[in-house]
Amino acid sequence: MTELVVRALARGETALFRSLKDPGLVGRAVLGTEFATVHEGGDYRPEWSWVALRDGVVVARAAWWAGPADDEPILLNWFDIADGEEEAGAELLRRAPLHAEYELILPPGWRDLPDVREAAEARIRSVRASGMRPLVERYSYRWTPECGLPPRSGRLEFRPEPSDEAVLDVLRRVHSVTLDAHAQRAIAESGINAAAQEELDFFHWCPSPREWWRLAYTPQGELVGLHVPAINSTGPCIAFVGVVPEQRGHGYAYDLLVECTHFLAEEGAQFIAGATDQGNIPMAKAFERAMHPVSQERVHLV
């Protein structure tokens, strides 16, 4: 077999990246996205966009993503392989000097769609062969005004909290019994303080106002949790909803999610993105009850 050539794109080689024939069943294509570099108004940097070629033909491709001000990639969220080229895809990922979590975007119920499942599992096998391992599967949600605003329960009071240290304390308490796989991984690797700081850093990374964050309290003044409405790189989102351990079991996640939804809608949001782990049953039920429909499923490997 001809030797594999693995390299980054040069500026102006977008057509080369796009030349791999792919039916668009999984990945960013599910969102209707076409690959483009930042020089063309897209999301990807040429030096972070790699191809594997055999006899000059692209047989695998990968593109890592980050925000405009980031110095390192945050996600590998574009990865495709030609038929029979799983090993070429794995080799591309081994050779590229870039490391970030892989996020595979999939339509809802993807395991029940034979062609989609085959395309997804081929990519997962290839990524695993490169040395990555599965972390979690998640639901993504997309609320629009047509969904209707979920009713507020009126059980809680919401207050801004200007102190980052106070917010960090709430995050530490929420994470002490978290069901979120990313938080669990951060805690296992670096401890709960670092995991809470990582969450806070993400809130600050979002370009939306700091003043939007809210702590929730019972009418008696007992802390319930935190919700963070935000704008990320693609638009309005539920950045965080968390209930402290001693207040769980009362359905308060729904109240926080509803308040977050109303807040963003009042700010003029025409859609609101959200996500939760598929194993986080209470949060998934809260999204369903709050009229946030599932828009995609996502598989994460690290």
Predicted local distance difference test score (pLDDT) of residue 220: 97
80: region left, alpha or beta (phi > 0 left; psi from -120 to 50 alpha) = beta
Tell me if residue 152 falls in helix, strand or coil. Answer: coil
**CATH class, 5-132 region:** alpha beta
Write out the chain's pLDDT in tens, 302 residues.
679 999 999 999 999 999 999 999 999 999 999 999 999 999 999 999 999 999 999 999 999 999 999 999 999 999 999 999 999 999 999 999 999 999 999 999 999 999 999 999 999 999 999 999 999 999 999 999 999 999 999 999 999 999 999 999 999 999 999 999 999 999 999 999 999 999 999 999 999 999 999 999 999 999 999 999 999 999 999 999 999 999 999 999 999 999 999 999 999 999 999 999 999 999 999 999 999 999 999 999 99
pTM value? Answer: 0.95
Predicted local distance difference test score (pLDDT) of residue 12: 93
Of the candidates 294, 293, 286, the one whose C-alpha atom is nearest the C-alpha of residue 153 is 286
How far apart are the C-alpha atoms of 81 and 90, rounded to whole Å?
A: 9
Predicted local distance difference test score (pLDDT) of residue 248: 96
Predicted local distance difference test score (pLDDT) of residue 1: 62
Fold of 146-297: Aminopeptidase (3.40.630)
Parts of the chain belonging to CATH 3.40.630.30: 146-297
